[in-house]
Amino acid sequence: MRLAVVGHVEWVDFVVAPRLPRPGEILHAASAHEGPAGGGGMAAYAMRSLTDGCAFYCAVGEDMRGSRTVEDLGAAGIAVAGAVHAGREQRRTVTYLTTGDGERTITVLGPRLVPHGADPLDWPALAGFDGAFFTAGDAAAAGAARGARVLVATPRARDALIAAGVGVDALVGSADDPGEAMDDELLAATRPRWVVQTEGARGGAWRAADGASGRWAAAPLPGPPVDAYGCGDAFAAALTAGLAGGRSIADACALGARVGAALLCERAPAVGDLSPLW
């Protein structure tokens, strides 16, 4: 299969600590590391690890971190189609990974960089892809992503999806995250064949345009939980791969649950070999 992620990537400074610092406190972290991640980046890592291939259409800054982003993603085996946005700095985040509760807490530095249809990328090539997951971009980028045989999108890309007016095979998001709510305008514009909502440890639910619906249970964890960073993005990447591979919506959601559980047991942004889950 040929699979792609179209979306955003951020340079992330990860701080591993037992808890968040209190106001005015000096807190000693257990460790720290950095690298490219964010929603689109984590989806690309997971898709590459699960299926042994992923093209990543994204935008990066015209600075050292932007260059490092492309280099590091490429070193991870991802085929990066990265548009350099002149005069822009790579967006950064500082992310606390707290060992006490496995949570991630994110502080964003700078405006989001997203790929544009006017960027000099090989957008027509997406018409030859089996599946694409759209996390961010402008309307033209969303339209190009629709060239893939299967298109899955996050409601976080709401404005671009509405402006593009393209239908999607699936909208996928967290039922517990207000930023991933699916309102009537978005549903009318995208006409999803399936709406998929994750519910963390409760599993999740899907409903189809023809009225069918179903649920899946959370997958057993392959080890002790570490942190939740990227689990939802990995679920969406696996869902995309499953649907592109001809699996039923129920089977694709179950695959996504297994992949999300695997990431919960790794220290972000690490993604181990997911191919046995396929």
Angle ∠(144,146,149) on CA atoms, nearest 5: 125
User: Using CA atoms in the order 164, 148, 238, 82, what is the torsion angle rounded to 10 degrees?
Assistant: -80
Angle ∠(14,116,271) on CA atoms, nearest 5: 30
Q: Are 141 and 160 in contact (CB under 8 A)?
A: yes
pLDDT of residue 134: 98
CA–CA separation, 163 and 171 (whole Å): 16
- Whether residue 11 has pLDDT greater than 90: yes
User: What DSSP element (H or E) covers 39?
Assistant: helix 38-51
N- to C-terminal Cα distance for the chain? Answer: 13
- Whether residue 67 has pLDDT greater than 90: yes
Q: Output phi, psi for 91, to 5 deg.
A: -65, 140
- Whether residue 91 has pLDDT greater than 90: yes
pLDDT of residue 100: 85
Question: Average of pLDDT values for 129-139?
Answer: 98
pLDDT band for position 13 (cuts 50, 70, 90): very high
200-255 tens-digit pLDDT: 999 999 999 999 999 999 999 999 999 999 999 999 999 999 999 999 999 999 99
pLDDT of residue 171: 98
Question: Average of pLDDT values for 185-203?
Answer: 97
- In eight-state DSSP terms, residue 254 is H
3-20+34-267 CATH: 3.40.1190.20
Q: Return the number of other C-beta atoms located less than 10 Å from residue 182's C-beta.
A: 18
- In eight-state DSSP terms, residue 89 is P
Long-range (24+ apart) CB contacts under 8 A made by 249-254 are 249/170, 249/194, 249/196, 249/206, 249/208, 249/214, 250/206, 250/214, 250/216, 253/196, 253/204, 253/206, 253/214, 253/216, 254/216, 254/219
What mean pLDDT value characterizes the chain? Answer: 97
pLDDT of residue 140: 98
- In eight-state DSSP terms, residue 176 is T
Question: Average of pLDDT values for 105-122?
Answer: 97
Tokens 């972290």 sit on residue: 29
What's the one-letter identity of residue 202? Answer: R
Q: Where are the domains of the chain?
A: 3-20+34-267
Which pTM value belongs to this model? 0.97
Q: Return the number of other C-beta atoms located less than 10 Å from residue 118's C-beta.
A: 11
pLDDT of residue 230: 96
Question: Average of pLDDT values for 141-169?
Answer: 98
pLDDT band for position 48 (cuts 50, 70, 90): very high
- Summary count for the chain: helices (H), strands (E): 7, 13
79: β partners: 55
Question: Average of pLDDT values for 113-119?
Answer: 98
Q: Shortest CA distance to 246 belongs to which of 135, 149, 164?
A: 149
Q: Return the number of other C-beta atoms located less than 10 Å from residue 136's C-beta.
A: 25
